[in-house]
Chains A and B, each alone.
Chain A
């Protein structure tokens, strides 16, 4: 049924239509309304789940790891410092091969204190073994949750997934969202039945000590699963489209990239605004395109190489920063293209940190600047809109 709702409600309904059985979460701005909505759905009996109240995000994730190991489908939501507090257990969740699905409302890390959109929280979890999706709209939020359970629970994957929605820009913005019927979701997503689980009648141990001759083997298998998830995302999206008639563009969505002289690579809600700007510039005869980084982990190496063959210049727009070494996406793109022939000019822009608004006017300036880099780079990296720096 199509309804007008926030990204946070789309997240809550995503957990409901997927029949999450155990939910544990701790409230944090701007994620709070996800937790409130689920609590009220459970209290009214509309959602058949156990809601476990905890004293921290660390405990929320610990609860879900245990619940997932018993064979339950699990869900949580967090943001920013809540996600950072979970860090230890994010690694544990992936190591224990628990297919937990979590919404992260992408918010800046403090200090200075900020509650607004920024990808530093999510991208700082790159190495935890979680799959990561960045959404541009609320429909994609709920659809990505449904897709994530299907992929995460696959026997050869069994990895947790994080669905990222930008603070306020999606979390508190209402848009029309088509919420699928639970029966439709049932036809797409079978119930979760792991081969091995915590069961008092048939006891197994999970996550206990292994000697050096076996530890690396477990790590190797996590990586094999993550590598398999790359094709897995492409397949699950096709499968989703067959059932629901929608797709969100694969691991990287290419918008007007095929013959583009310059392309911006963007993750999250700003990519949506950028499509309007591409249309405007195209109508003026300027050949620009947008590549939207939808799946960040596993990293879409083949799609990046494909993009490199479509265009001569790529402006990589990071809403995060790795202090001392470029933005996270810029690093990854450079890594993926190393050793390839005819690499495009790669420019890194840092923008929108702590909710600094990215308007169509700013994006147009960035597109035009990037189009003009035909003779090569001026500087490798530019911060957009920092007072007193760079003239933006």
Chain B
């Protein structure tokens, strides 16, 4: 079973991202579950959401504390939340950031046995006019980057999941996912 934790801020689409990833796994015939941790929802507040993907029926209903993957939608969260908390040895953190990987590694205190990947999802989202320049919606781009760096789902099923779940700008979201898939870098 693969467990993924998304960190975002209210309004950025972390919860929908966790659902789209589940949908993509489902389209590949896998068992899936996705859920948010809800405080009382507010735009801008830190939000976490989770996805499980497995070959067997998923019976566990408790939270995810030791994820295989962490996806960070908003780089400003690194100052507020320990996003790498509980990450499994060999796990990967994928961050929407244009900061150099060495600096990020130091900021996260990321051990050498953990992988780091970055993608400039903000720039990709703005280019495809997703959200506003001040508050771009970066979830589709990060999911595309996740498909590439994790190998957990295929980009085709991921894009199908995006198309099924985003309410507007369907083609733009799909294009953002593809562009991030092509441009993400594992350091």
A residues within 8 Å of B by Cβ?
4, 29-30, 115, 136, 166, 168-170, 172-176, 269-270, 272-273, 275-276, 357-360
Contact = CB atoms under 8 A, between A and B. Distances in A.
A115 B63 contact: no
A276 B31 contact: no
Contacts of B65: 359
Given A115-B38, A169-B35, A176-B31, A357 B60 contact: no
A173 B59 contact: no
Interface of B: 19, 22-23, 26, 31-38, 40, 58-63, 65
Q: What does DSSP make chain A's interface, helix, strand, loop or mixed?
A: loop
Chain B CB count within 10 A is highest, among A4, A136, A175, A359, for A4
Contacts of B40: 29, 115
Given A359-B62, A360-B60, 8 more contacts: A30-B38, A136-B61, A168-B35, A172-B38, A174-B19, A174-B32, A176-B32, A359-B63
Contact of A175 (B32, B36, B37, B38): B32
A224 B13 CA distance: 52
A383 to B, nearest CB: 18
Contact of A4 (B26, B36, B59, B60): B26
Nearest to B25: A4
A174 B34 contact: yes
Contact of A173 (B23, B26, B31, B35): B35
Nearest to B49: A172
A357 B36 contact: no
Nearest to A116: B38
Contact of A168 (B23, B26, B38): B38
B62 A273 contact: yes
B62 A172 contact: no
When A and B form their complex, which 8 residue pairs have the shortest distance between CB atoms, in order from nearest?
Answer: A173-B35, A269-B61, A359-B62, A272-B59, A174-B34, A4-B26, A273-B61, A357-B63
Nearest to B35: A173
Contacts of B62: 273, 357-360
Chain B CB count within 10 A is highest, among A168, A169, A176, for A176
Given A4-B32, A168-B38, A169-B35, A174 B59 contact: no
A226 B113 CA distance: 60
A306 B23 CA distance: 41
